[in-house]
Structure 1
Amino acid sequence: MTSKDNYCVIMGGGIGSRFWPFSRKTLPKQFLDFFGTGRSLLQQTFDRFNKVIPTENIFIVTNAMYADLVKEQLPELNPEQVLLEPARRNTAPCIAWASYHIRALNPKANIVVAPSDHLILKEDEFLEAIGKGMQFVAQSDKLLTLGIKPNRPETGYGYIQIADKEAENFYKVKTFTEKPELELAKVFLESGEFYWNSGLFLWNVNSIINAVEALLPELAAKLMPGKEIYSTPAEKAFIEENFPACPNVSIDFGIMEKADNVYVSLGDFGWSDLGTWGSLYELSPKDDENNVMLKCEALTYNSRNNIVVLPQGKLAVIDGLDGYLIAESDNVLLICKKDEEHTIRKYVNDTQMRLGDDYI
């Protein structure tokens, strides 16, 4: 196996509604610089994998409306490396299309699939695990995911239960469990058998295509007839016609939870899924009262455990709040309990229904 056989697919088409109003439909979270580093989450993800994957072997799959944003943020990519979805159809169609496309370029390809909004603090350890994982899937037909050692009973992540050890740090997956209630999450943590599901996947291109065709035949039926036209000028028209008719299904539910050749590599990379304001709060520096001010100024009185996010140049004066999210962006100000952020999607839906798209 040589590096020219290694590919990366970065999924960057989501809206990031749980980060509203900071994340908007026209500028979702993957294109934002949350930490003031000068690089967006998408750019940081690209930078990370570009250390071990050739630039020409990195593909971005995103919604067609974000074509210009990707081009602006990643000018080193050719247009052919940006696969534009004409409709949002979840992760299984996204991954299937990218896999057919890459197989047409290299039928021996090994692929790592990554979301565009994850944070990795221990990058060297992470990239070492990616390298070992690529070797693992290159030598077998196994589907591999990365499991993260939990350090708390987190209810916002899915869990993977491990079974038999296959090789050094590679285990057969016994079960997948969606986001559990707190008491069950405590049991998972104490058992030592459960790891957080990172949403990062590695496989040989033929292994994943075989799994799609066996377990999601209705999806394969939409994309497989075009196998002769992938990586040709005819591909765009084929995808525009067929992709919107693909079933809306996640790769976890459609493939990983059903396949019998799923394995997990275990690690602790300082990983976080930046999926919610709560996850951002946990990662951010805090003042003496555990308040987080993200790239803004705030004066707090009798206030603790809050996260404040305002446009640069604005000042918040906060008195008597405990555990709140205060976020303003453009024409929206959101104030709600930090621990009830699961209701943000409800706020987004209600706003859209009552007031239209101007605030979304």
Structure 2
Amino acid sequence: MRDPARVRHRRGEAGLGAHRDLRHRARPRRPDRRARRRALRPVADRDHQRAPAPPSHLQAGRRIRPLRPQRPRPALGADRPRRRPRRGRGHRAAGARLARRGLSAAAAAPVALHVLILAGGSGTRLWPLSRAALPKHLLPLGPGGTTLLRATVERLLPLGAEVRVVTVEAQAAACLAALEGTGLDERSLVAEPAPRGTGPALGLAVREVAAADPEAVVCSVHADHHVGDDAAYCAALWEAAGWAAATDGLATVGLVPRFAATGFGYVELGEEHRPATWRPPVVSPRALHPSPGLPAYTALGFAEKPSLALAEEFVAGGRHLWNLGLFAWSAAAFGRELRAAAPDVDDALAEVVELRTGGRATEAAERYRAIPSAAVEPLVLERGARLSVVAAAFPWSDLGSWSDLLEARRAAGEGDAAGNVLGGDAVAAGARGCLVESRGGRTVALVGVEDLVVVDTGDAVLVVPAQQAQAVRDVVDLLRAGGRTELL
């Protein structure tokens, strides 16, 4: 018989098993895994629900860290509650990092984007097709025969910004006709009583934007430019707007020069100041994709239409970009810089807005006409304003001459095998590299000629070598001096 001290009592009822036929074989018992776990760590059963912890199974003197109680979790499938952002030492440290980079911590908050389209040109570069009453941005030179103004509005759609068209009162009706179907109406127009250059025009328009949204970031673009990559164009504008919001300053988009152009302005690059992980804080109803990571620099200055030798030096040095006239700034920053650089212009614009608000449109127009004409670069940007420049690369042309239009159309895939681009009723036999715009109801035929521009509008015919297309301005000056205003 076994030693009684070695007899182990079994739990449960007597016998081989309750309610089990004795003829069945006993099932082997599984080892108790929980017993093995008890020797390693305390039981954490239900501790995530903050229930009282059971007594520890650890032996005395053992030094094993107990489990941390888990936070209460929502039921499976439930939405996670939104957490309030922590604003402790980490927030202050982030603000210090932004300050060291010249950025504003307050600019991290999303802001709305507005775009001003400058559409008030006089229309002499593409004479005789463009006239004072029908400037370049109202000509059907865009994709599919649309006007350049409409093409610009459609190009900006991915930004989801609020768009205003800055024009002169004499062109307001024509601009509205070109904008039909775009969602813009007379409330989207900012009309100058008379053309006074981009400086006063933008000052007036930014005041109108600031009255509706003081925290807005504003972009300024031109209505008569050709762009070959709309996505890259919008991405560069987005980046410039982000820099304007982050630095509480002014920004511009510069284009990597393709050749030594003497008809363009240049902007000189300073130190690169783009943080590697920074993202533009600007948001809009239809936000763009993440930042493309375009480099940004401090702008050191502008050079307007340099000589050929100087332009070649700029291109070879790699520290100058073409100035496209694409700008971005917060409404508050532009107002501050305009006030510091040209207080007389700022005072005059304040009077114009006050007179308009009071219903005294005639007096407002007279006061605006008294403002000296000036471009925004010498009026504001070149007078000590803190300016960033975003370096971009996309097909672009300001369509400043007929030869520019010919090149842009060729790049867009238009033209025949000989490089001729024929518009209207025109034929070419043995001609190469010619541009024809026949809009006078007559057939224009080219035979054996090269690199010519021929434009027929019915009341005027222009024939000029493509390389000398810039000389059209001389013709316009001669007509004006001779009193032929009906052709202008």
TM-score scaled by length of structure 1? 0.91
Residue identity matched to 2:214: P
Contact 2:351 2:364 in 1 (8 A): no
Aligned match of 1:255:
380
How far the C-alpha of 1:312 sits from its partner, in A, is: 7.5
How far the C-alpha of 1:36 sits from its partner, in A, is: 5.4
Q: Give the match's secondary structure for 1:8.
A: strand
Name which of 165, 170, 195 aligns with 1:60: 165
Name which of 117, 129, 151 aligns with 1:22: 129
Name which of 293, 309, 322 aligns with 2:422: 293
Q: Give the match's secondary structure for 1:51.
A: helix
Contact 1:16 1:275 in 2 (8 A): no
* Residues 78 and 317 of structure 1: CA distance in aligned 2, closer, same or farther (over 3 Å): closer
Residue identity matched to 2:374: V
Q: Quote the Cα distance in structure 2 between the aligned partners of 1:127 and 1:238.
A: 39
Aligned match of 1:191:
317
Q: Give the match's secondary structure for 1:127.
A: helix
Contact 2:240 2:327 in 1 (8 A): no
Query: What is the CA deviation profile of residues 218-260 of structure 1, one whole-angstrom value per residue up to 9, with x for unaligned ones?
Result: 2112112356577x46374553132111111101121222224
* Residues 350 and 312 of structure 1: CA distance in aligned 2, closer, same or farther (over 3 Å): closer
Q: Quote the Cα distance in structure 2 between the aligned partners of 1:260 and 1:69.
A: 35
Q: Quote the Cα distance in structure 2 between the aligned partners of 1:182 and 1:272.
A: 19
Bigger radius of gyration, 1 or 2? 2
Query: What is the CA deviation profile of residues 116-137 of structure 1, one whole-angstrom value per residue up to 9, with x for unaligned ones?
Result: 0112221112222222222221
Q: Quote the Cα distance in structure 2 between the aligned partners of 1:254 and 1:300.
A: 51
How far the C-alpha of 1:141 sits from its partner, in A, is: 2.3
Q: Give the match's secondary structure for 1:188.
A: helix
Q: Quote the Cα distance in structure 1 between the aligned partners of 2:132 and 2:445.
A: 29
Give the alignment of 1:95-244 within 5 angstroms.
Answer: 95-167=202-274, 169-226=295-352, 232=357, 234=359, 236-237=361-362, 239-244=364-369
Unaligned runs of at least 5 residues, structure 1 = none
Q: How many residues align?
A: 355
Name whichever of 262-271 and 336-345 sits farther off. Answer: 336-345
Name which of 132, 139, 149 aligns with 1:32: 139
Residue identity matched to 1:87: A
* Residues 358 and 150 of structure 1: CA distance in aligned 2, closer, same or farther (over 3 Å): same
Between structures 1 and 2, the one with greater strand share: 1
Q: Quote the Cα distance in structure 1 between the aligned partners of 2:360 and 2:269.
A: 39
Contact 1:36 1:295 in 2 (8 A): no
* Residues 313 and 2 of structure 1: CA distance in aligned 2, closer, same or farther (over 3 Å): farther
TM-score scaled by length of structure 2? 0.68
* Residues 290 and 126 of structure 1: CA distance in aligned 2, closer, same or farther (over 3 Å): same
How far the C-alpha of 1:80 sits from its partner, in A, is: 2.4
Query: What is the CA deviation profile of residues 161-196 of structure 1, one whole-angstrom value per residue up to 9, with x for unaligned ones?
Result: 101011151100122111122222222112111111
Aligned match of 2:82:
none
Query: What is the CA deviation profile of residues 261-299 of structure 1, one whole-angstrom value per residue up to 9, with x for unaligned ones?
Result: 011001112222122112111112344443332344222
Between structures 1 and 2, the one with greater helix share: 1
Task: Give the aligned CA root-mean-square deviation in angstroms.
Answer: 2.1
Aligned match of 1:331:
459
Aligned match of 1:13:
120
Name which of 279, 287, 290 aligns with 2:404: 279
Contact 2:237 2:326 in 1 (8 A): no
Contact 1:110 1:134 in 2 (8 A): yes
Q: Quote the Cα distance in structure 1 between the aligned partners of 2:395 and 2:360.
A: 39
* Residues 69 and 218 of structure 1: CA distance in aligned 2, closer, same or farther (over 3 Å): same
Q: Give the match's secondary structure for 1:37.
A: helix
Percent identity of equivalent pairs: 26
Give the alignment of 1:86-101 within 5 angstroms.
Answer: 86-101=193-208
- Runs ≥4 residues deviating over 4 A: 226-230, 235-238
* Residues 237 and 210 of structure 1: CA distance in aligned 2, closer, same or farther (over 3 Å): farther
Q: Quote the Cα distance in structure 2 between the aligned partners of 1:276 and 1:70.
A: 22
* Residues 295 and 202 of structure 1: CA distance in aligned 2, closer, same or farther (over 3 Å): farther
How far the C-alpha of 1:313 sits from its partner, in A, is: 5.9
